[in-house]
Structure 1
Amino acid sequence: MNAPDTDSELRAAAAARQRATLAALRTALLAVLPPHCLLFDEEDTRPYECDGLTAYRQLPLAVALPENEAQVVAVLRACRELRVPIVPRGAGTGLSGGAMPVAEGIVLSTAKMNRIVAIDAQARTATVQPGVRNLAISEAAAGHRLYYAPDPSSQIACTIGGNIAENSGGVHCLKYGLTLHNVLRVRMATADGDIVELGSCGPDAAGLDLLAVFVGSEGMLGVVLEATVKLVPKPPQASVIMASFDSVVRGADPVADVISAGIIPAGLEMMDRTSARMVEPFVRAGYDTDAAAILLCESDGLPEEVEEEIARMSAVLARAGATAIAVSRDEAERLRFWSGRKNAFPAAGRISPDYYCMDGTIPRRRLAEVLTGIDALAVEYGLRCANVFHAGDGNLHPLILFDANAPGEFARAEKFGEAILALCVAAGGTITGEHGVGIEKLDSMCEQFTVEEIAAFIAVKRAFDPARQLNPDKAIPTLDRCAQYGRRKVDAGLFKFAHVPVARHA
């Protein structure tokens, strides 16, 4: 029989392969999961076609929703036998396409594994399943005057499994650290269905620090089954300063000054005028909408500590040229100030049909320079940009505003985003602080990392997942892709792994 040689024949052959794969997959998954834990119909799988980066979509063959770790292992082993790729998924709030399905693959959602296993107030730890919401940990620990510190803007919905995959941060990560600094132990399943414990609830763990490799690996190395996280005492008092500036540059300059003064704020965030004006009607946080930029600087601790730190930060901000300084008068006002910052992304819908959120990180001393560069890029690409970000650790979140229905605007927004990330790398920064690489920043990986570094990343992936079963073709570009992107010269056979094929799961 002759091989198909027309487009219609190729499409028909691909459709036949997919039907055969789906039939085998349905049989295999129904053998290890109850029917209510499986979704096959398009109307049921459609909500899983993307994560928070909705510009890129792919319908999965099926969605598995296991209820315990034995079922997770069974799904992994069934898919390994069929050579069907798997994309692990938490709540789907990620912003880099890390949880977008791959063609002819399934989504493995841990949403049903949402039990808080234990709160140990004496050890100040919480042991939870991956589907537990970030905020639910703090709610469960509140009776012990403890809470879980990492607080991404999506904390009411995002889950700890997803936080571990992305190494999520939040407005308080400057003082309390990212997810990596707050996770003690992870129980995970490999692509082969083996269960491995990483880290320890003790002061240290023997052997290589594989926990640090796993946290932030974006679902490429394994599936989280359970995690033990740190809890910290709830501060007796917290206050936040809202400082106004008449230019973005003047607002950026004192960020490094606060840190160099020996102060580590509980939070240090910045919003430009566009961000403040889109948020204020939405949440009525009390923002100064006439200011070109506002800084939110929080102090927490004992009342005496907070009073002193607020006074010291206020002095630094006044010397830097703040046109107004307001300090929260009570807890309700403090929460209002933060609610505006945390609702910046949804508020963007008030002024633009669509937005594209970037995630570059730069040295604090380069903030003013890079923000000026972003303004110039906005003019070059003819698109508005609202800046809202974790100023204290230099993690930028420019919101590029565009209309997906206007021809060419999304393509322009993508190019604008790539240019912002290139600007961050040139300033000595990195292409992501907390959102991850996913599919969004694959080309920008080639901007930042050398051929040797990318080859090392590929080798780590192979060590955990030799068949490239988990979340393939994300987070780490092939060296060929970097060559095609124009950032690296790669000759055939010169570099190890240069020609890892893109399609591996026929």
Structure 2
Amino acid sequence: MVDTAQAIRELEAIVGAEHVLSSRAERSVYGYDASVFRGQELLAVVFPESAVQIAQLVLWCHQHQIPYLARGTGTGISGAAIPTQGGLVIETARMNRVLEIDLDNGVAVVEPGVINQDLKQLLQRHGYSYTYVPDPGSQVVSTIGGNVATNAGGMHCLKYGITSNHILGLEVVLPNGTIVDVGGKVVDQPGADLTGLLVGSEGTLGIVTKIMVRLLRLPETVITQLALFKTVDDAANTVSDIIGAGLLPAALELLDQACMQVVEQAVHVGYPADAGAALIIELDGLHEDMPRSLELIAACCREHDVLSIETAETAEAVARLWLSRRAAFGAMARLASHCYIVDGCVPRTQLPEALRRVNAIGERYGLRIANLAHAGDGNLHPGIPFNKRDPHETARVLQAGREILEVCVALGGSITGEHGV
């Protein structure tokens, strides 16, 4: 292996001395992400500005047998950006340009370091009636490159699909340093779906350096509602009934009582203490279709003893509802120093049973679990606050997480919905 000082000089020759971090303090910052895990000591962190520089870095790592991984903003909560073998972190923060907006074809081309919400806001500032739909809970800070790596979902993936449904093409640096382009503006590409293969591969097949995303027109009408229920079962069964009635809401988000209590303490949305669960329901589409859809949703809710259904009448009220959902993970920091977020998926009809078993696991291990879910597609996120400095509690939390994923698989689901493996 190359001498450390020599290695730093060679890396500086590729990206510039000001774009290499090598001090112990600087390296330690990149040894973890938003998960509860930590990696090994790094050689260095580098900030390339182009696919060519990334290709040179990959070849350099191969030559010196040094492991490497790509990193966005480190918002992942499954440990995908953890340097488990040390080595080199290739940080994409400098590759943050929007290269093209082509409204005629409904396409934008961006570099991997572009923040998800920044692209949305750019389109909004220019008055375009288009947006980039994928909206993971971390969209205000997560990169589109990271979203591609994990095939991130989001609150509106029920109707609009996950990241893979919105990626038309990629430029990628392969592990041998070759730069390739896959996909493009033409939807019907010949041969295997290489774009689909790369989305969600978490950097194992290559480092994405350019992304062609699909843009969709903003809907004519958006209506957001909050429905409160006595029990989680009532809320979860309502979700299945809504889908079964032929409706496809833009979003169907579920929060259980424990989650509502944590959120209420943090952002004061107005969740009542006696409600067992909440559904945030969002419809979008043509104005003329809304009355009938709202009637069907109300009927489904009444079938399961809904306590109340309220429509957010102002933009501020809508924002407050979505804040309560997006703030959930952060709000759990009020309970403990760390929070282990599980990302499992089950068929939506199995959601009530899955949540019952999740809560039973929490009781068995003496853990408080707050559940939220992209309920429309069965993607559940149990949050388990804990003190990482307590090795016994940490062991219980990790074991509970394993058992929760075993429950998901046993019910016909999978070990991940959107956060990556």
The TM-score bracket by the shorter chain reads over 0.9
The residue that corresponds to 2:28 in the other structure is 46
Q: Determine whether 1:364 maps to 2:310.
A: no
| C-alpha displacement of 1:220 | 0.7
| C-alpha displacement of 1:21 | 4.2
CA distance in 1, matches of 2:348, 2:3: 51
Determine if contact 2:36/2:339 at 8 Å carries over to the other structure. no
The residue that corresponds to 1:287 in the other structure is 271
SS in 2 for 1:102: coil
SS in 1 for 2:262: helix
The residue that corresponds to 1:157 in the other structure is 141
The residue that corresponds to 1:29 in the other structure is 11
Determine if contact 2:227/2:308 at 8 Å carries over to the other structure. yes
Q: Determine whether 1:198 maps to 2:182.
A: yes
Q: Determine whether 1:333 maps to 2:314.
A: no
SS in 2 for 1:418: helix
TM-score with structure 1 length normalisation? 0.81
Structure-to-structure mapping, 1:312-331, within 5 angstroms: 312-331=296-315
The residue that corresponds to 1:86 in the other structure is 68
SS in 1 for 2:192: coil
| C-alpha displacement of 1:104 | 4.1
CA distance in 1, matches of 2:406, 2:84: 27
Aligned length: 419
Structure 1 stretch 389-398 or stretch 30-39: which is displaced more?
Answer: 30-39
The residue that corresponds to 2:82 in the other structure is 100
The residue that corresponds to 1:429 in the other structure is 413
Q: Determine whether 1:119 maps to 2:101.
A: yes
Q: Determine whether 1:296 maps to 2:261.
A: no
Q: Determine whether 1:399 maps to 2:383.
A: yes
Structure-to-structure mapping, 1:176-215, within 5 angstroms: 176-215=160-199
CA distance in 1, matches of 2:376, 2:350: 12
CA distance in 2, matches of 1:362, 1:21: 49
Aligned-partner residue type, residue 332 of structure 1 = E
The residue that corresponds to 1:166 in the other structure is 150
SS in 2 for 1:253: helix
CA distance in 2, matches of 1:409, 1:21: 41
Q: Determine whether 1:57 maps to 2:44.
A: no
Q: Which of 129, 132, 151 pairs up with 1:145?
A: 129
The residue that corresponds to 1:345 in the other structure is 329
Identity %: 39
CA distance in 1, matches of 2:95, 2:107: 19
The residue that corresponds to 1:136 in the other structure is 118
Q: Determine whether 1:250 maps to 2:231.
A: no
| C-alpha displacement of 1:211 | 1.1
> RMSD of the alignment, in Å?
1.3
Aligned-partner residue type, residue 183 of structure 2 = G
TM-score with structure 2 length normalisation? 0.97
The residue that corresponds to 1:69 in the other structure is 51
The residue that corresponds to 2:213 in the other structure is 229
| C-alpha displacement of 1:353 | 2.9
| C-alpha displacement of 1:307 | 3.2
CA distance in 2, matches of 1:57, 1:292: 39
Aligned-partner residue type, residue 79 of structure 2 = G
Determine if contact 2:107/2:214 at 8 Å carries over to the other structure. yes
Determine if contact 1:183/1:230 at 8 Å carries over to the other structure. yes
Determine if contact 1:50/1:99 at 8 Å carries over to the other structure. yes
SS in 1 for 2:208: strand
Q: Which runs of 5+ in 1 are unaligned?
A: 1-16, 438-506
SS in 1 for 2:227: strand
Structure 1 or 2: more strand by fraction:
2
CA distance in 2, matches of 1:149, 1:34: 36
